[in-house]
Amino acid sequence: MSSALTQYTLPDLLSLCPFEFSKPNPHLEECNAESMAWVTNFNILNDKHIAIMEKSQTSLISALTYPYAGREDFRMICDFINLLFILDHLSDDMHGKDARGACEVFYQVMANPDFKHDSLLERVTLEYAGSPGFVHLRILLIELILIVFVRPFSVLRNRSSLNTCSATLGDIPKLLHRKQN
């Protein structure tokens, strides 16, 4: 077996791009600071996890992705990404059923602010869902939650019997109507 190193040179793909990258959202610094303060206020994350969150620079990624979002919308985006970080952190040490339960609480609170569950996750999610900017993002975020959190568990649960997933994007209006009544 040869121990010689093989070297590969990647092309400079950025020089081939004919477009300019957008400038980040002008509300980046202010909204990132406010969102981080909001997250740390709940005392869910220790210093190590806060450092990981800051190092991940999700607000910068969001600022580059949504350069024209208004201040309120951009703050909602930062808070949502940080809320997902909290959900991920809380479910890290959970087994399948408990992780599914955490995702279910997250979804239920987002879909129905009257949903009650005595947990820290419910409190954080309810505060987010109760913010003024959430109203016009509600449908979009619930779609995202169904796709990312609820549907994968349904697929895993049904994989052995080859049934199809019961939660689809077409079900969103029915789910929302059912939760509001």
The predicted-structure confidence for 4-32, as pLDDT tens digits, reads as follows 888 888 888 778 877 777 799 999 999 99
Q: What is the pLDDT of residue 161?
A: 44
Strongest mean pLDDT among 5-14, 69-78, 152-161: 69-78
Residue 89 shares a structural domain with residue 128: no
With respect to residue 3, please indicate whether it lies within any of the assigned structural domains: no
Q: Are residues 114 and 169 in the same domain?
A: yes
Least confidently predicted of 58-62, 74-78, 94-98, 151-155: 151-155
Interhelix angle 172-180/96-111, rounded to 10 degrees, is 70
Q: Are 180 and 112 in contact (CB under 8 A)?
A: yes
Residue among 68, 60, 70 nearest 32 (CA): 60
Give the range of the structural domain holding residue 173, as residue numbers without chain letter. 96-181
Two structure tokens written together for 141: 């975020």
Quote the CA–CA distance of 63 and 15 in Å, as a whole number. 22
Count of structural domains, the chain: 2
Residue 19 placed within a domain: no
Residue 79 above 80 pLDDT? yes
